[in-house]
Structure 1
Amino acid sequence: MTRWTRPLTTLLLTLTLAACGSVPALRGSGDLGVVIERASGSVQVVDNSHRQALYRIRGLGDLSHASLVYSRDARYVYVFGRDGGLSKVDILQGQLVARVMQAGNSIGGAISSDGRIIAAQNYTPGGVKLFDAETLDLLADIPAVDAHGQVSKVVGLADLPGNRFAFSLFEAGEIWVVDASQPRQPTIRKYPAIGKNPYDGLASSDGRYYIAGLFGEDGLALLDTWQPDAGVRRILPGYRKDDPALPVYKMPHLRGWSLAGDYAFLPAIGQHSVLMADSRSWQEVAQIPVYGQPVFVMADPSGRRVWVNFAFPHNDTVQVIDVPSRKVIQTLKPGKAILHMEFTGRGDQVWLSSRDDNKLVVIDPHTFATLTELPADSPSGIFFSWRAHRSGM
């Protein structure tokens, strides 16, 4: 190509691309996030480097209790809606790619360790369904029916290494672990009689521990997946024995627990306290008094501080716990109905959703100064793309 023909070739290429329509700017997804807008059935894609909104994607159904997971390349998110809808969204193009109605009432899901399988947990009719992550084709349907014929709502679905999933059965009081290595023929190991009414569950980031919170009794149930034959054991029993349980205005989210140093921090049901446990022995170390009933208990990426939000009527408040001193060091009132918190990958910002003020609040977690506020339509969950590379998210 001569120096005379090169400009002409470049011009022709530019004209060809223009004729094909607008081409999105080339960019990565590492600083992107997705915000659930619960009232309008939409999500916002946000950029946390520049602290701005990029797109709004509509038509995702009932998102009054919605969550999502990322594809392993962090280009797509899979949104699980309350109405049983499963939606695949391209966050780089700002488009809804595919959507299936897979149940009557769904509250969340997970993605397999190899990124090929999407698992949805359902209240109605109960059970877990496995889908192809590329096409959303159904691979398997796993009804949540125990040995006595009891149909249960499924809660606490979490991914484990080796294309496995763990979840809990609310009515039956069981934990099931599904091996989906052969997704059209999954195998199930069941752990019965773990306790009354498991309401949520979580997996540690290394996939070793699966913990179910128990609504019907004091304590939590722990499965060590490295020692599956040892069964499920009770941890933190009797943490409410010295203080009568208060009315529960909102169920805490165990998925919002934290590991910080050698300790685990978890929300206490019906208490104005955060539970602090040794993360090896799972013995209670302390109960840290806080402003209200905690919902999410989230450590910043350094593990030095833990941020807590609260159920109604204290949901306008966020508190920050200093891990070494085990004391609250800051109380913030950033907006009405703070439903969710999310740190950037390296912890330079924390984003908060204020549902009743229709805004997102971005705070410097070191100085506690507000960096910016962005409009959002009844925002709830905030999910940044670093989640694509973490287990148990």
Structure 2
Amino acid sequence: MIRHISSYNTLKIGALCSLLLTGTAWADAPSDYANHCASCHGETRLGGVGPALIPETLKRMRGPRVALVIAEGRTATQMPAFSHELDALQIEELAGWLKSPLETNPEWGETEIMASRTLDEDYNPVDAPVWGSDPMNITLVVETGDHHVSVLDGNTFEVLDRFETPFAVHGGPKFSPDGRFVFIMSRDGWVQKYDIWALQQVGRIRAGVNSRNIAMSGDGKWVAVANYLPNSLTLLSTGDLSVAKVIDVKGKKGNPSRVSAVYQAPPRESFVLALKDVPEIWEVFYGDNPPQSGLGHDFRIEGQFKNPDPFPVRKITTPDYLDDFFFDQSYEYVMGASRDGNGGQVIDLVIGQKVADLDLPGMPHLGSGITWRHGDTTVMATPHLTDGTVSVIDMATWETVKRIKTEGPGFFMRSHENSPYVWADVFFGPNKDAMHVIDKQSLEIVKTLRPAPGKTVAHVEFTKDGRHALVSIWEDDGAVIVYDAQTLEEVRRLPMRKPSGKYNVWNKITFSEGTSH
């Protein structure tokens, strides 16, 4: 049988033969990088036109190995092939060098962040949408296959616009409270502001070097960016993308930490941070009257406590590292997943103490948890990343109501207040083509959909009224499938380039039941 050999593999074989014959190697990775890569990816490997080429970003890249990308390029991007400029040994050495840590942690403070900001000169704000659709029923589809977002009319499913995003979008986009603007973040820390009414980009700014997610303040004034590198939280003004503050993240004992995630807690007028490297959670206040207890640097003016810091930080010690969160409806309680993936904790934000343990084995993905009314109580359900189970928790007692057996570990869950069903994918393992539909009251799987046998089927979003459910075929030649949310029948397929996530304006800004917040 004759097997296909790529041009890179042919090049590699030839170079290896040459090495064996001569006994010498001529690769000089830093020089090759400077000559061929620095113009796009930056002299310090921190990114430019192209993404950062450092271990923190490369280890997260899916698809071909780094060496193969260097040799053959990457389709649907500006990354060219270098197999004609570099031989296979040079490519292998360069790929290995790119995976090595930087000699020093990069400086990326307010000066560097502001220097990266660009505001589009041709952006033309409008007084009303330039399209005639319901502005509250717009759904954005993130297409990671070629780094674009499609703007869908939630009634007709017409594509109103398709715009380019920064490389490797990560985390859900965040909408302004009026639904007009959306903010999108990439793993390289780029934050993009887009005007949905005008169908135009407003600008971009790089808030970090390696970032996890963003959160929108309840008043719509601030966007918080959680960073792995450097260890910081960046606060941006939503109006002009200027830096309001960069907070260095160090625990109570002075130990630096990466920020695993940042979430908004609107009733508390705060952001809540999950920290990767210290057993603490942080609450960063942005309102006019932050609580005074626990801030540690209050002082009294004219008989009242005042705080000179516009974003005071409260640090809460936890019994264990908490990488991911879920909030109750009042935002008083935080449900956090333990580092070892074998359980969880409930932290009361008012008193700053753990009040309960959670029986959640199998590494729960609390960031995708959802809630709904079940009988006379409210329950929370979460998929598990290492176990074929959906756990259902009573939000009043913190007890496990049921573990629903699925066909494999899942990643996303979704429902809607007007739907009797919960949709849960089977993202990992051989049954990745399955989508379970679960009855909210019986907690039984009533149907398993397989719209694309053998392909990854994941992530569900509903239209504003809950009549339709949108499901992704998570492949480069994928699609968004529109289902009737009551009959579970397929209505339409929209071809898309690896549609990883879908986000409805109304559901997100109103914190619709069944939405991950």
Same fold (TM over 0.5): yes
Deviates more, 1:116-125 or 1:212-221: 212-221
Residue 334 of structure 2 corresponds to residue 215 of structure 1: no
1:233 alignment counterpart: 355
> How many angstroms apart in 2 are the aligned matches of 1:69 and 1:202?
17
| Bigger relative CO (Cα 8 Å, ≥ 6 apart) | 1
CA 1:384–1:142: 2 relative to 1, 3 Å = same
Please list, as runs of the form range in 1=range in 2, the aligned pairs for 1:109-148 lying within 5 A after superposition.
109-148=214-253
- Per-residue deviation, 1:85: 0.3
> Is contact 1:208–1:224 with CA below 8 Å preserved after alignment?
yes
User: When the two structures are aligned, how many residues end up with a matched partner?
Assistant: 357
Over residues 281-305 of structure 1, what are the superposed CA-to-partner deviations in whole Å (9 max), with x where a residue is unaligned? 1111111111111211222323632
Structure 2 length-normalised TM: 0.65
CA 1:311–1:234: 2 relative to 1, 3 Å = farther
2:317 alignment counterpart: 192
> Is contact 2:316–2:352 with CA below 8 Å preserved after alignment?
no
- Per-residue deviation, 1:28: 4.2
Residue 458 of structure 2 corresponds to residue 346 of structure 1: no
Please list, as runs of the form range in 1=range in 2, the aligned pairs for 1:252-263 lying within 5 A after superposition.
253-261=365-373, 262-263=378-379
> How many angstroms apart in 2 are the aligned matches of 1:53 and 1:105?
31
Over residues 196-245 of structure 1, what are the superposed CA-to-partner deviations in whole Å (9 max), with x where a residue is unaligned? 3x2322333442332222232421222233xx2151234323x43xxxx5
Higher percent of residues as helix: 2
> How many angstroms apart in 2 are the aligned matches of 1:275 and 1:292?
13
Over residues 248-270 of structure 1, what are the superposed CA-to-partner deviations in whole Å (9 max), with x where a residue is unaligned? xxx76423211111211112342
2:206 alignment counterpart: 101
- Per-residue deviation, 1:280: 0.9
Larger Rg: 1 or 2? 2
CA 1:381–1:311: 2 relative to 1, 3 Å = same
Letter in 2 for 1:369: E
Which residue, 410, 414, 439 being the options, matches 1:322? 439
CA 1:123–1:252: 2 relative to 1, 3 Å = farther
> Is contact 1:153–1:171 with CA below 8 Å preserved after alignment?
yes
Which residue, 387, 390, 394 being the options, matches 1:271? 387
- Per-residue deviation, 1:120: 1.1
2:489 alignment counterpart: 369
> How many angstroms apart in 2 are the aligned matches of 1:184 and 1:78?
25
> How many angstroms apart in 2 are the aligned matches of 1:119 and 1:362?
33
Question: Unaligned regions of 5+ residues in structure 1, if any?
Answer: 1-22, 246-250
Instruction: Provide the secondary structure at the position in 2 that maps to 1:151.
Output: coil
Residue 282 of structure 2 corresponds to residue 180 of structure 1: no
Letter in 1 for 2:229: T
Please list, as runs of the form range in 1=range in 2, the aligned pairs for 1:282-297 lying within 5 A after superposition.
282-297=398-413
> How many angstroms apart in 2 are the aligned matches of 1:184 and 1:61?
32
Higher percent of residues as strand: 1
CA 1:264–1:24: 2 relative to 1, 3 Å = closer
Instruction: Provide the secondary structure at the position in 1 that maps to 2:351.
Output: helix
> How many angstroms apart in 1 are the aligned matches of 2:486 and 2:354?
39
CA 1:312–1:33: 2 relative to 1, 3 Å = same
Which residue, 402, 417, 425 being the options, matches 1:309? 425
> How many angstroms apart in 2 are the aligned matches of 1:107 and 1:66?
7
1:78 alignment counterpart: 183
> Is contact 1:258–1:265 with CA below 8 Å preserved after alignment?
yes
Deviates more, 1:293-302 or 1:28-37: 293-302
> How many angstroms apart in 1 are the aligned matches of 2:418 and 2:138?
21
> How many angstroms apart in 1 are the aligned matches of 2:353 and 2:385?
24
> Is contact 1:158–1:202 with CA below 8 Å preserved after alignment?
no
Structure 1 length-normalised TM: 0.85
Letter in 2 for 1:220: G
> How many angstroms apart in 2 are the aligned matches of 1:253 and 1:79?
21
CA 1:331–1:229: 2 relative to 1, 3 Å = same
Which residue, 444, 456, 469 being the options, matches 1:337? 456
> How many angstroms apart in 1 are the aligned matches of 2:503 and 2:309?
29
CA 1:333–1:252: 2 relative to 1, 3 Å = farther
- Per-residue deviation, 1:172: 1.1
Instruction: Provide the secondary structure at the position in 2 that maps to 1:326.
Output: coil
Deviates more, 1:177-186 or 1:45-54: 177-186
CA 1:316–1:150: 2 relative to 1, 3 Å = farther
> How many angstroms apart in 1 are the aligned matches of 2:435 and 2:341?
27
Letter in 1 for 2:389: S
CA 1:294–1:40: 2 relative to 1, 3 Å = same
> How many angstroms apart in 2 are the aligned matches of 1:276 and 1:257?
10
CA 1:143–1:281: 2 relative to 1, 3 Å = same
> How many angstroms apart in 2 are the aligned matches of 1:325 and 1:310?
20
